[in-house]
Amino acid sequence: MEETEEIYVTGELHEAFEKYQERMPVPLAGIDEKKKRLSADEKKQQKDLDFNDKKSGKKKLHELDSADIASIIETEQKEMLSHDEIAGKHKISTALAGRIIRASRKDKDFIKKRQHKEHEDIELRTAIKQLISDWDEDENGMLSLGRLQKKLKEETEIICSVTTVRKIMRNELGLRYKKVKQLAPQTNKLKNVLCRMRYAMTMLEVLACGMRVINVDESWLNSMAFKRHAWMKAGKGNARSVKELSTRVSFIAAIDNRGASYVSLGTANTDSGVMVAFFSSLAKQLDAEEANWRDNTVILLDNAAYHKSLETRAAIKKLGIKTIYSGPYSYISAPIEKYFGLLKRGDLNPEKQQVGKR
């Protein structure tokens, strides 16, 4: 029987043999698991490196200009420092220092190309800023990334991505992409703007004199419940039956800057006759409260047709009431709108009392 020959491997051959065994084929499942494990470990390691760089104040490549990169290359060539030492001196990561040095060795024009790119970036930013400052919506339409990119190409022959334009607009110009608020076309016509300015100056003078301002306006109710949200258990619907008023209720309200309010309810549509009746009743109520109220009181009205009709004006003049008409499209300056908003916010009939004709 032949004896098996034993092989003894020592020293360097032993190490080489062990490495060879490590490279021996393994099951595919094992390879996949190893790759996944290495990939996860590499991601975690890179994440830790990025966090440490940020925490230590180390600069990224996009934060370095051509002068910084030239200084890094010069340090490596003249002072013969290691990548770690270069990284510590210039406050960058060791990996970035090695990357810059390898790129400079591979391409002799590396610095010139960086300088050329920086010059192009400055031209791009200057052109975008100039286009935005000179943008005319009447001629060019509403400012958008697509229109700005197209106009940039037409006027300067500069081609860049939408992403680059967006970064410049957000980061350097402080612009934000916001929802467009729809306004009536005539809202900001010169005539309406001047009328609002005149109205604002008049109101400031009246308030500075300490006068009482009574804001009068109209609204209507077709329901007694205006609550739109309520707590419910998860998975259950929140549908509620709401009984509409059999006849729509119109009401005229008057509130002043001292906390008083006067309300008139009715079922007729508001017109000049209804307004004359309301002003007559309001004058009687104010006469009962204070005999000389006309001396320091002014009524604020909007520009509804029945507020400015001949019949209403004649009645106001006969009653001796001072009036101010608000500027066009100046709802925000009318406190009565807040009053209506608060009134139509909850349940006007929480006790569910009978409402109707009876």
Residue 350 inside a domain? The answer is: no
Residues 48 and 77 in one domain: yes
Nearest-CA neighbor of 279 among 246, 241, 309, 318? 318
Same-domain status, 147 and 218: no
Residue 204 in any domain: the answer is yes
- Render each residue's pLDDT in the chain as its tens digit; 358 residues: 444 444 454 555 566 656 656 655 544 445 555 555 556 666 666 556 555 555 556 777 777 888 888 888 888 888 778 888 888 888 888 888 888 888 888 888 888 888 888 888 888 888 888 888 888 877 777 788 888 888 888 888 888 888 888 888 888 888 888 887 776 777 888 899 999 999 999 999 999 999 999 999 998 776 655 555 667 777 777 665 655 555 677 889 999 999 899 999 888 888 999 999 999 999 999 999 999 999 999 999 999 999 999 999 999 999 999 999 999 888 888 999 888 887 777 666 666 555 554 4
Same-domain pairing of 69 and 19: yes
Residues 155 and 222 in one domain: no
Is 27 in the same domain as 102?
A: yes
Q: Judge if 256 and 291 occupy the same domain.
A: yes
Phi first, then psi: what are they for 41, rounded to 5°?
-65, -40
Total number of domains constituting the chain? 3
Specify if 352 maps to a domain: no
122 in the same domain as 95? no
In a domain, 183, yes or no: no
Does 28 lie in the same domain as 163? no
Work out the angle at residue 78's Cα, subtended by the Cα atoms of residues 76 and 82, and round it to the nearest 5 degrees: 30
Parent domain of 312 = 190-227+244-343
Same domain, 157 and 265: no
Pair (88, 16) in one structural domain? yes
C-alpha distance from residue 212 to each of 95, 132, 163, 300 (Å):
74, 47, 56, 10
Q: Do residues 102 and 154 both lie within one domain? A: no
2, part of any domain = no
73 lies in the same domain as 118:
no
69 inside domain: yes
What is the reported pTM? Answer: 0.48
Name the residue type at position 155.
E
